[in-house]
Structure 1
Amino acid sequence: MQSVLIALCALLLSMGSAQAERLKDLVSIQGVRSNQLIGYGLVVGLSGSGDQTTQTPFTLQTFNNMLAQFGIKVPVGGGNVQLKNVAAVSIHADLPAFSRPGQTIDITVSSIGNAKSLRGGSLLMAPLKGIDGNVYAIAQGNLIVGGFDAEGRDGSRITVNAPSAGRIPGGASVERSVPSGFAQGNSLTMNLNRPDFTTAKHIVDQINELLGPGVAQAIDGGSVRVSAPLDSNQRVDYLSILENIEVKAGQAVAKIIINSRTGTIVIGQNVRVQPAAVTHGSLTVTITEDPIVSQPNALAGGETVVVPRSRVNAEQEATPMFKFGPGTTLDEIVRAVNQVGASPSDLMAILEALKQAGALQADLIVI
């Protein structure tokens, strides 16, 4: 029965709409997620660009503890040792879902002391722990650093990117897997990447149309519960069918995003403007100083002095007024602004004024 159901679903999926989106691009499965790992270790082999141990005593302490594990005891007073080729670092990585012992993951290594550069360094074996304190991976390897730092004897210095951080592809070996609730229970919960009631309804309708009524139920605007087989192998086949279902996503809320630092303006779909008339001009005032020298005659008893002279000029651009009709669309807004020749800063002021006047039917978000 299960094989017949899968074959039927595969046949119906081939008839999906070309304008719809795949379900796997709209949702994520609850319980199927990555986990963050963090660790601490030492990078060695640096060319004199490591930590200054007088200012970062924890680097020397970590180094001494490592030597003690190999039966090497640092003499009393060894705190004055300068380790210019060693740096203390933090290590972080993401442990993907379903990772198994023996697999490798990428790691990022960042200096936490005052090391100038980690270029050419090697990370010594360090454990990576999860939020529960358990060790899930072991990290070690040679760093790849994209930045560099160069300094001259006269104090001149050049830095490109960040030489104090690097990555090690496949630099950690997974030692423990994270339990997953994927194979538990008789249902699965799909969380929408962008919660939307319309999208949730379309997902439920599409799944129930393919698999029968009651298979999918909307929990809220951001989650959909779907009945699933108990057998883990059948559940994988089942999800491979569901994630390729094509669903028409609901349209997003009308928004205008303004980045005041970069001057970037993004006008989303469904932005509308109520009837309004807009004019936007700029007044430019220019003040120039042109001092003159006042010099007395040859037989006069005066002194030569500098007399200040200022010139003030004011220019105002003759910007025409343009009118927005009822229900003006995004295309009409862009066309009207382009005709006026407004700059990004001018457009920001126009949009803000329209919002204050109640003529802009969209959320205005300034970041």
Structure 2
Amino acid sequence: MKRFLILLLAVSLAGGAVAAERIKDLANIGGVRPNQLTGYGLVVGLDGTGDKTNSSPFTGQSMTLMLNQLGVQLPAGTKVDPKNSAAVIMTATLPPFARVGQTLDITVSSFGDAKSLRGGTLVMAPLKGADGQIYAIAQGNVIVGGAGASGGGSSVQVNSLSVGRIPEGATVEREVPNALGSGDFINLELLTTDFTTANRVVQAINREFGGATARAVDGRLVQVRAPFDSNQRVQFLSQLENIAVNPADLSPVVIINARTGSIVMNQAVRLEPCAVAHGNLTVTVNSTPEVSQPNPLSNGNTVTTNNANINITAAAGKVISVPRGASLNQVISALNALGASPQDLVTILQAMKAAGSLRAELQII
């Protein structure tokens, strides 16, 4: 029988009070965010594990174009064999406040049908942002964490050989402008929309700095008046992000993953009295082939028939009583003892929610 793995998130202190958290753990500063970069490039120097000409024709075209840019003119109609090269997609994250000359780690993923990128070198290629502008240039030796070997028609592989990384493989060439140092206000964007938490953040900031320093725009955005001078603004933000705030009490949530059999709940989940009945109905159909052989000299034909046998089994339904205040852990353990499958358990919890017994938000992923 498949059992559900039950995880209880103990996120509350004694007495049910929520621990104080710093503002930097509850909100992000508007405009301070990373940006994704991507690009297309060529990895060369592979030991015959690159792309194939027929299935990845773009690799040969890219090699021809690269040679032309390097001043090597190939005769018309020349086909380049890319078995030692591979077309790749590069991805990187440009952190906030990145400056020209700063290096970035990049991930290189095979775009064609290359068997392995081990031992390859990425040729200089641009990394672009969502606006199509070039923000970094990438180049370097690819490090692949996987391993593999083949011989005699057999092969063994550990992890992926078609994805690798180049530590500090890209250099920033363009900076992303940010609005942190302009204007009289900075914006605090709460990680979770909650009016109570937003109000408590405003009160904590005003107690620390006095006056009407902060005001809530809605349940997620808080505007804070900050010094205009960049040095003073950095000092102000350093002090601001370390202010302790008691966030709003947890909302009761139960998350079920029906594929893996995992249940995650927080400490705010409550149950009301109810009764749960569970039973199974099983229908089994067996087909047995039988051969009818005619008597000798009867001019009859041999006939094959199927004999169907149908059995219906109804398991006895059992009822469990859920008292007030029982933990969800106890309920699920009792349902498992009744033989409830993962899908049955999802259905039962949904029914408990509809009946008003499960006082929590039910999320099935």
Confirm or deny a common fold (TM above 0.5): yes
Q: Name the residue aligned to 1:140.
A: 139
Q: Name the residue aligned to 2:46.
A: 46
SS of the residue aligned with 2:278?
coil
Matched AA of 2:220: G
Q: Name the residue aligned to 2:128.
A: 129
Q: Does 1:187 pair with 2:170?
A: no
SS of the residue aligned with 1:220?
coil
Contact 2:198-2:222 at 8 Å conserved across structures: yes
Q: Name the residue aligned to 2:328.
A: 333
Larger strand fraction of residues: 2
Contact 2:283-2:310 at 8 Å conserved across structures: no
Matched AA of 1:131: A
Q: Name the residue aligned to 2:209.
A: 211
State how many pairs are aligned.
337
Alpha-carbon deviation of 1:134?
1.9
Contact 1:116-1:149 at 8 Å conserved across structures: no
Distance 1:287 1:129, change over 3 A: closer
In structure 2, how many angstroms separate the alpha carbons of the residues matched to 1:100 and 1:366? 43
Distance 1:290 1:177, change over 3 A: same
Tell me the alpha carbon deviations over residues 143-189 of structure 1, each in whole angstroms, 9 at most, x when there is no partner. Answer: 121234444443x4444332211111111111121111110111100
Q: Name the residue aligned to 1:93.
A: 92
Contact 1:288-1:310 at 8 Å conserved across structures: yes
SS of the residue aligned with 1:66?
helix
In structure 1, how many angstroms separate the alpha carbons of the residues matched to 2:354 and 2:19? 36
In structure 2, how many angstroms separate the alpha carbons of the residues matched to 1:359 and 1:69? 71
SS of the residue aligned with 1:78?
coil
In structure 2, how many angstroms separate the alpha carbons of the residues matched to 1:102 and 1:184? 24
Tell me the alpha carbon deviations over residues 101-143 of structure 1, each in whole angstroms, 9 at most, x when there is no partner. Answer: 1111111111111111111111111111112222111111111
Contact 1:51-1:83 at 8 Å conserved across structures: yes
In structure 1, how many angstroms separate the alpha carbons of the residues matched to 2:157 and 2:319? 49
Q: Compute the TM-score of the two structures, normalised by the length of structure 1.
A: 0.82
Contact 1:283-1:317 at 8 Å conserved across structures: no
More relative contact order, 1 or 2 (CA 8 Å, 6+ apart)? 2
Matched AA of 1:37: L
SS of the residue aligned with 1:138?
strand
SS of the residue aligned with 2:81?
coil
SS of the residue aligned with 1:321?
strand
Q: Name the residue aligned to 2:228.
A: 230
Q: Name the residue aligned to 1:62.
A: 62
SS of the residue aligned with 1:87?
strand
SS of the residue aligned with 1:229?
coil
SS of the residue aligned with 1:334?
helix
Question: Root-mean-square deviation (CA), in Å?
Answer: 3.0
In structure 1, how many angstroms separate the alpha carbons of the residues matched to 2:155 and 2:19? 54
In structure 2, how many angstroms separate the alpha carbons of the residues matched to 1:186 and 1:323? 57
Contact 1:204-1:218 at 8 Å conserved across structures: yes
Q: Compute the TM-score of the two structures, normalised by the length of structure 2.
A: 0.82
Matched AA of 1:171: G
Distance 1:72 1:289, change over 3 A: closer
SS of the residue aligned with 1:59?
helix
Distance 1:36 1:309, change over 3 A: closer
Sequence identity of aligned pairs in percent? Answer: 51
Matched AA of 1:322: S
In structure 2, how many angstroms separate the alpha carbons of the residues matched to 1:76 and 1:115? 26
Distance 1:61 1:313, change over 3 A: closer
